[in-house]
Chain A
Amino acid sequence: MSVPVRAADGGAAPRAPVVARRGEGGPVSAVAAALRRPVRWPAYAGALVVIALLPIVLGTPYWRGILVVCAMNVLLAMSLNLVIGYTGQLSLGQSGFFAIGAYVTTVLLKSHGWNFWLAAAAAVLAAGVVGLLLAAFAARLRGHYLGIASLGFAVIVYQVLINWESVTKGVRGIYGIMPPPPVALPGLPEISFGNQAALFYLVAGLALLVYLVLDNLVRSPIGETLRAIREDEISAASLGVDSARWKAFSFGLSAAIAGMAGCFYPGFVGTLVPDAFNIVESFTMLAMVIVGGMGTMIGPVIGAVVLTFLPELLRGFGDLRLMVYGVALTLVVLFMPGGIVQAARALVARRAQGGPRA
């Protein structure tokens, strides 16, 4: 009867479900088709300049730290948006994948002596595989049921982190985690990631890369297939979309991206405790997606930036700042139902029509 999740760009004008065309069929050729599409290079060049300038403008270690957190949040919000915004599956378990990325990296690094980059790759893979497992639930459940099931998944991950003391050190946490090892590129001075600006460049660069991949993915036939599942799963199935398979694809990729954000978290903070992956974190990620505008590529990025910096800008309110944050979150949802992106688009459209109406 109802499609529980409606995205900003799909809600306004009903669109016919578009299905991966037979001729192009298969993910490989779809990816190839996506790569052939024109990419919005000027926008990406602009983003690169902004990323390059940010740690210079916000030069104190404190603000650079916030920048690193912000880049991780952008990754997390984009990953969640793929599942919620483009595939229409309510997932409240994203903090679980973030946790898997962080813990697998750290445990392989500290207890098994792996190289950081290898450990990170393994962690991304592990998160992706667990995402595929969660997709088995998504194949059977819809709407709030899937939401609670994924919430249950996040709770289980959190509890495993607390209880599996021999591996995760439980609530005491793992200490003294080093940042990613320095990289020496030929002809350049060695890049040390103990420097937060360098770490920011690394994570933000990855986020930009992920944005580029996802931006092309969602405009490809794969993206159309995912949107078809979002809009009407039964119609999509009737047109030959194997929704279970594509949901698994979406969950797996989303989990891997969240896991990637998790890889850099422990080295940045230096310690790893289960409380960093409380289920509340999943809600925060969801809030970023919604506040920015789900189902758009730039929306979650804006949402992540706004919700990362908002609590910092509200420091003037002292103890009341998180209260103000809660009010702000509620007000955004009440008065900008499509998120910041849609509100901005509406504003631009109104301007184009000749000034604001009375």
Chain B
Amino acid sequence: MTDLLLLFTQQTINGIYLGCLYVLVALGLTLIYGVMNQINFAHADFVTVGAFAAFFVATRWATKWLGLPDTTGYLLSIVAALGAGALLGLVVNAAVFAPLRNRGDELRPLIATIGVSVLLENGQLALFGPIPFQFDSPFAQHTIRLGRIFFSQQSVLVVIVAALAIGGLYAFMKFTFLGKALRAVSQDRETAGLMGINENFLIALTIVIASALAGMAGALLGPVIVLTPFAGASVIVKAFAIVIIGGFGNMEGTIIAGILVGIIEAFTVQYLGSGVIDLVVFVLLLVMLVVRPTGLIAERREENV
């Protein structure tokens, strides 16, 4: 293999790993948008809450108190973060989304989620302080070698977990009755309601799934980002870009766009430096909006474009 090809392969692999992390965050946004036409600005903070939950489970509770090996601790912390995200989603839905939903307005829930975001960020600031936490994944130290290509066990774990989550979600949406009902609500809420589908339950379920994914993404992102109460913000703007590039509310588009952005980021770091990542991603976003405003995979959602 030539060096250039090697570099190309290596960066593509890094990009896919990054992309999987972004997809997990962006999927939640796109799910919520698809079902209730709503942007959740607090989504970033669900990621941070998940990351902190995972941090305390992995480094304190599981390893120090229960005496589990740190690898098991970390795997357990991913589950814990998933649960923390789901719980938070349940609470935020009951407190904010549900009361605001039937007022026929899209702006006020958006502001309400900004309020929730401020609350969560500063609540965590009061609890954990502004100093970044050192969250090391036990899998990050071990690398796997394949010919002349290296990748950490952590990246393999991330790809596997993301694939499982995405696969599970996909199967749920396509093959279960509940998933079918969810898609129906996403296509036309009123008609779905007339068919006897309990939309309130399904919307709550969507938010819980989306938040659980965000929390889980937090556990996986924790070792990558600078873990402070404001950590989610660095990921969320990219997640918004991904959701738009993929087509708002479109799962397949979001997955493809997420991986694509991950790969673009890996190559941007290689050739242009890490400082310009957001610049490249958002210029791409604006170009995308001009050229193909419906996203990578066009859906019949005429009203937004």
Binding site for B on A (CB under 8 A): 1-2, 4-6, 11, 84, 90, 137, 140-145, 147-149, 151-153, 155-156, 158-160, 162-163, 279-280, 283, 286-287, 290-291, 294, 319-320, 322-323, 325-331, 333-334, 337
Contacts and interface: CB of A to CB of B under 8 A. Distances in A.
B126 A323 contact: yes
Contacts of A142: 303-305
Contacts of A326: 115-122
Given A141-B293, A320-B122, A330-B96, A152 B282 contact: yes
B33 interface: yes
A279 B238 CA distance: 13
Interface stretch (B97-105, B132-140, B143-151, B250-258): B97-105
A287 B107 contact: no
B160 interface: no
Interface stretch (B14-22, B50-58, B273-281): B273-281
Contact of A151 (B123, B237, B293): B237
A294 B121 CA distance: 26
B278 A155 contact: yes
Contacts of A325: 118, 122
A75 B305 CA distance: 30
A169 to B, nearest CB: 14
Name, among A144, A325, A328, the residue most crowded by chain B CB atoms within 10 Å (CB to CB). A144
A333 B289 contact: no
Given A90-B107, A144-B39, A162-B275, 11 more contacts: A151-B237, A152-B289, A163-B279, A286-B114, A290-B108, A326-B118, A326-B119, A329-B111, A329-B118, A333-B108, A334-B96
Contacts of B100: 333-334
Interface in B256-292: 275-276, 278-279, 282-283, 285-286, 289-290
B292 to A, nearest CB: 11
A145 B304 contact: yes
B237 A319 contact: no
B108 A153 contact: no
| Interface of chain A: mostly helix, strand, loop or mixed | helix
Given A4-B106, A137-B290, A337-B108, A148 B240 contact: yes
Top 3 closest A-B pairs, CB basis?
A326-B119, A326-B118, A330-B115
B286 A153 contact: yes
29 contacts: A6-B107, A137-B289, A141-B304, A144-B39, A144-B304, A145-B244, A145-B305, A148-B241, A151-B237, A152-B286, A155-B278, A156-B279, A156-B282, A156-B283, A163-B275, A286-B111, A287-B114, A319-B122, A323-B119, A326-B119, A327-B115, A329-B111, A329-B114, A329-B118, A330-B115, A330-B119, A333-B115, A334-B99, A334-B112
Contacts of B96: 330, 334
B162 to A, nearest CB: 23
Contacts of A137: 286, 289-290
Contacts of B289: 137, 140-141, 145, 149, 152
B41 interface: yes
A323 B122 contact: yes
Contact of A5 (B107, B275, B305): B107
Contacts of B275: 159, 162-163
Contacts of B120: 326
B74 interface: no
Contacts of B104: 6
B293 A329 contact: no
A203 to B, nearest CB: 26
Name, among A142, A294, A326, the residue most crowded by chain B CB atoms within 10 Å (CB to CB). A326
Nearest to A334: B99
A337 B159 CA distance: 43
A138 to B, nearest CB: 11
Nearest to A333: B112
Contacts of A141: 289, 293, 304-305
Nearest to A338: B108
Nearest to B279: A159
Contacts of A287: 111, 114-115
Contacts of B290: 137, 140
B118 to A, nearest CB: 3
